[in-house]
């Protein structure tokens, strides 16, 4: 195919939502696919990349200098919590992270005092 044909295909094709496409909802921790905080599961739901690859990436960053732990903890606090499975209740640690997230997000939305 020549350059014009590829350009025509690119203009006429539109991405269709299916199970393998990234989620159109916002970035949030996973309520169902969680091991520790649901960060990798939430990133997987948002990006369409397998959560195991996200976990391997965090481990790789941790081994390469410790940044994986810091990045994971920051994402855990900054990402809003996703919906839990029916009948599940957040653990005390999840409740504490939720309170920290509420304080951080409240601090970002309130204007500074004059």
How would you label 31-66 residue by residue, b for 16+ Cβ within 10 Å and e otherwise?
Answer: beebeebbbbbbbbbbeeeebeebbebbeebeeeee
**CA-wise closest residue to 42 among 26, 58, 20, 53:** 26
46 vs 105: CA distance, rounded Å = 20
80 vs 31: CA distance, rounded Å = 11
90 vs 105: CA distance, rounded Å = 19
Q: What is the pLDDT of residue 15?
A: 42
The pTM of this model reads: 0.59
pLDDT tens track of the chain, all 114 residues? Answer: 455 544 444 444 434 444 444 444 677 777 666 777 788 888 888 888 998 999 999 999 999 988 999 998 898 888 887 777 777 777 788 788 888 878 877 766 666 666
**CA-wise closest residue to 28 among 80, 71, 102, 87:** 80
Q: What is the pLDDT of residue 45?
A: 86
């Amino acid at each position: 195919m020549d350059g014009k044909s590829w350009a025509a295909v690119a203009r006429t094709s539109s991405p269709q939502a299916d199970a393998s496409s990234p989620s159109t909802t916002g970035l949030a921790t996973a309520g169902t696919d969680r091991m520790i905080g649901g960060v990798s599961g939430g990133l997987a739901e948002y990006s369409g990349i397998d959560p195991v690859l996200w976990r391997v990436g965090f481990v790789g960053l941790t081994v390469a200098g410790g940044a994986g732990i810091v990045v994971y903890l920051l994402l855990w606090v900054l990402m809003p919590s996703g919906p839990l499975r029916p009948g599940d209740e957040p653990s005390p640690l999840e409740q504490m992270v939720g309170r920290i997230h509420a304080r951080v997000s409240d601090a970002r939305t309130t204007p500074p005092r004059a």
